[in-house]
Amino acid sequence: MNMTNQNINLSNEIPDKEPERQYYYIEKAKEYIQKKSQEIGRPLTFCVTTFGCQMNARDSEKLRGILLEIGYIEASEDIADFVIYNTCTVRENANTRVYGRLGQLKPRKKKNPNMMIGLCGCMMQEPEVVEKLKKSYGFIDIIFGTHNIFKFAELIVTRLESQRMIIDIWKDTDQIVEDLPNERKYFFKSGINIMFGCNNFCSYCIVPYVRGRERSREPQAIIREIERLIADGVVEVMLLGQNVNSYGKNLEQPITFAQLLQEIEKIDGLERIRFMTSHPKDLSDELIEVMGNSKKICKHLHLPVQSGSTRILQKMNRRYTKEQYLELVDKIRKAVPDISLTTDIIVGFPGETEEDFQETLDIVRKVRYDSAFTFIYSKRTGTPAAVMEDQIPEDVIKDRFDRLLNEVQTIASEVCAVHEGTTQQVLVESVSEHDSSMVTGRLSNNLLVHFAGSEELIGQLIDVHLTECKGFYYLGEKI
């Protein structure tokens, strides 16, 4: 499915247009890598390690696609000749982990003359990070950002021809390069970017600064990609964007997310549609109606609430109140009664009082989420919240975090159990990690079920009876 152009002549002029230019560089890199492999008498290997969200995971598939095309072979990180970290900076601890791992790579690079280290992703969009890397991590080979990931092959060639650290970071872009190679992690399901960037500027969040302004892909390009994926064995797609509910607004011919979903629903061979993330402020009645009528959209909605306190929501610049959020949840549950709702919650936002926190506990009790990601507020330099007064002491946050987690988990295990005894369709994803005579499948509502079966079932949709709920997952039997 990768559209490599077999007729590239490296003695021709380098194309200006994308993606042709990158296919030229892929060919060129291929030559270098073949030569190197012959010299050392073995293939060169790579490993892309991903930090952060599904958007980053999808970007990593693009990097892997290019590297495989060039002639690298995939290997585990501890032996790979080319190690790439696709980084995240949404919370401080994501950054700390990257620096820690870079420290461990340094001695390996000294020993292996063919070793290269590449860094990309959201962290690289922060000028302070790149300064620090230049100063204290001079052994890195290639640094690039989120906007020019499509240029990976070109950057590799530049590095191979120059023998110095290559840094290429763009502040923003309006360019979307289509039709480059990518190598999926699963043959039966795939993430698909439908838009890039974010315009919301929630006051705690660094994403709009590192991912740039919102840009939607043309619906035809999305549909073409999905059709190709289906021809290649995919049955489930996850449509990706920081705020999918505002999809299409900036296109020359505007289209809503609900309309896009209806077009995607028509594609033959596609069985399941998921999407993330939805911002509550932009979730339309039209979308709720489409979800209610759809046969393919999965019965799961991730709807980050962040806080239950209207006062804090306002300081977070989320642009909805606690009441509006609860009304939305009611509407969705009316239209799709068996939908599973999940969320993200931040604890310890500047100025959060015990009363505000009680409001968060209250909304958790009212909505009864199937699961919730809970985060301790992390101060991100450059965001409005970083300079707000009243940053909350660590011990207070930790205490609130523990109480919230307890509440979330108790409710989640109760909610999960309601499907016990029913029969549901699952998509088999893998052999079970704990027992090789079992496989693991995913329900429409995103919960996992383990049942007796073997590898051939992977990628198939199968009816499974849910015999026993184990808190956050099920044991079942194939019908």
Using CB under 6 A as the criterion, which residues of the chain lie in contact with ligand SAH when the complex forms? 90-91, 204-205, 207, 242-243, 277, 279, 304, 306, 344, 346, 375, 377-378, 380
Q: Which two tokens stand for residue 292?
A: 């209610």
Say how far apart CA 432 and CA 455 lie, in whole Å: 10
* Residue 245 interacting entry, from ligand SAH, ligand F3S, ligand SF4, none, C-beta within 5 to 8 Å by type: none
Nearer of residues 125 and 424 to ligand F3S, judged by Cβ: 125
Nearer of residues 197 and 441 to ligand F3S, judged by Cβ: 197
Say how far apart CA 71 and CA 294 lie, in whole Å: 42
Is position 264 an interface residue for ligand F3S (rule: CB under 6 A)?
A: no
> How far, in Å, are 19, 177, 425 from residue 151 at the CA level?
9, 10, 41
Residues 35-54 that bind ligand F3S (CB under 6 A): 52-53
Nearer of residues 132 and 171 to ligand SF4, judged by Cβ: 171
- Which single residue is written with the structure tokens 């949404």? 90
Nearer of residues 384 and 459 to ligand SAH, judged by Cβ: 384
Size of the site for ligand F3S (CB under 6 A): 11
What is the DSSP track for 179-234? ------S-SSEEEEESEE------TT--HHHHH-S-EEPPHHHHHHHHHHHHHTT-
Is position 201 an interface residue for ligand SF4 (rule: CB under 6 A)?
A: yes
Sign of CA dihedral 322, 202, 306, 279: positive
Listed residue (201, 204, 197) closest to 244, CA to CA: 197
Q: List helix spans (H) across 232-372.
A: 257-265, 285-293, 310-315, 322-335, 354-367
* Residue 375 interacting entry, from ligand F3S, ligand SAH, ligand SF4, none, C-beta within 5 to 8 Å by type: ligand SAH
* Residue 201 interacting entry, from ligand SAH, ligand SF4, ligand F3S, none, C-beta within 5 to 8 Å by type: ligand SF4
* Residue 122 interacting entry, from ligand SF4, ligand SAH, ligand F3S, none, C-beta within 5 to 8 Å by type: ligand F3S
Is position 130 an interface residue for ligand F3S (rule: CB under 6 A)?
A: no
Phi, psi of 452 (to 5 degrees): -65, 135
Is position 221 an interface residue for ligand F3S (rule: CB under 6 A)?
A: no
Among 207, 239, 264, 392, interactor with ligand F3S by CB under 6 A: 207
Is position 373 an interface residue for ligand SF4 (rule: CB under 6 A)?
A: no
What is the DSSP track for 91-135? SHHHHHHHHHHHHHHHHHHHH-TT-EEEEEEGGGGSHHHHHHHHH
Is position 89 an interface residue for ligand F3S (rule: CB under 6 A)?
A: yes
Say how far apart CA 364 and CA 308 lie, in whole Å: 8
* Residue 119 interacting entry, from ligand SF4, ligand SAH, ligand F3S, none, C-beta within 5 to 8 Å by type: none
Stretch in the footprint of ligand F3S (CB under 6 A) among 2-10, 164-172, 204-212, 408-416: 204-212
The 8-class DSSP code of residue 299 comes to: S
Is position 347 an interface residue for ligand SF4 (rule: CB under 6 A)?
A: no
CB atoms inside a 10 Å sphere around CB 358: 14
Is position 202 an interface residue for ligand SF4 (rule: CB under 6 A)?
A: yes
Nearer of residues 94 and 417 to ligand SAH, judged by Cβ: 94
* Residue 52 interacting entry, from ligand SF4, ligand F3S, ligand SAH, none, C-beta within 5 to 8 Å by type: ligand F3S
